Amino acid sequence: MVSSLPSSSPSSPRPIPTQAEVEALYARPLNDLLFEAHTVHRRHFDPNAVQVSTLLSIKTGGCPEDCRYCSQSAHYHTTVGRDELMDVEDVRREARAARQAGATRFCMGAAYRGPRDRDLEKIAGMIEAVKAEGLETCATLGLLREEQARRLAAAGLDYYNHNLDTSAEYYTQVVTTRRYEDRLETLAHVRAAGLKVCSGGIVGMGESVADRVAMLRTLASLDPPPESVPINELVQVEGTPLHGLPPIDPLDFVRTVAVARLLMPAAHVRLSAGRRAMSAELQALCFFAGANSIFFGERLLTTPNPECGEDLKLFERLGIRPEPPAALP
């Protein structure tokens, strides 16, 4: 089968196909799309190994942003309360438990527009504590200034997560309290500080196929592309404006994963929010399409996630094993 995307070599990065070319790729017969995505996946990764992360909310609720999907926004009435920044030792205990459960990366999320400088030193202490437990570290704290990104890097942070959410064209239908350009600027600060980038999006928010494709093309056009690409399915939260939308077709979700794999061959593509509602068969298709990372643990910040035991049983059924931890500096 001849690839429908331009080839690349180590000395010449893969060119980004046009919007029309990627839309045509997304629309291909599913068997052809899966075959190509899985072939590319095998060139870059062990097809039966999945990277395992754990996500902890270190500061919950009260966020001033109006992200229409988010249970933590202060603009909406949901069941999520407000908790201040956790203590470093509590985070250390959570990280130790995550490592014992099999996670290799520990992600810390805080409900901020951007972190307060007075909180950044405490967060730096959390990063150091988690690293001491032998885990890779990731943080998602909202918008960052250049000097804040450098401070997190100095503390030993490995990854910074800042999702684009959707396309630039659809973004104002999802968030109005910040600009798409603000997100891209934060990612530029993160990369300039020497941190690895974790950035993806959410599908099922009423966006079009063209919006999904545009989001993935924007991610792939970053130089270099993100090392980690979370693909989230909207988890509908009562009280938020996006509650009640019709769910995305599961096979369209698989197509999104496959196109992410083809556009960003060397990235870890993560099945993120929404897995609790996914069947074993759908997750298996996603792994075949190129997903090779998951969040492990019963909660993702404030929304439900499969329990570790469920995931281990699924791994056993599929012949999948957790990816070994990366060598830490």
Catalytic residue ranges: 63, 67, 70, 107, 138, 198, 270
**Cα–Cα–Cα angle for 169, 173, 175, nearest 5°?**
100
Q: Which of 228, 292, 240, 235 is nearest to 43 (CA)?
A: 292
The answer to whether the CB of 252 falls within 8 A of the CB of 272 is: no
The answer to whether the CB of 259 falls within 8 A of the CB of 298 is: no
Size of the chain, expressed as the number of residues it contains = 329
CA distance 280 to 83: 34
What is the DSSP-derived secondary structure letter of residue 171? G
Angle, to 10 degrees, between the axis of helix 250-263 and the axis of helix 280-289? 20
Is residue 228 within a helix (H) or strand (E), and if so which, with residue range?
strand 228-233
Check the CA dihedral 71-72-75-79 and report its sign. Answer: positive
The answer to whether the CB of 275 falls within 8 A of the CB of 294 is: yes
The answer to whether the CB of 257 falls within 8 A of the CB of 275 is: no
Beta strands 299-300 and 303-304, pairing class: antiparallel
Half-sphere exposure in the Cβ direction for 286 (13 Å, CA): 30
**Cα–Cα–Cα angle for 140, 302, 229, nearest 5°?**
40
CA distance 257 to 289: 6
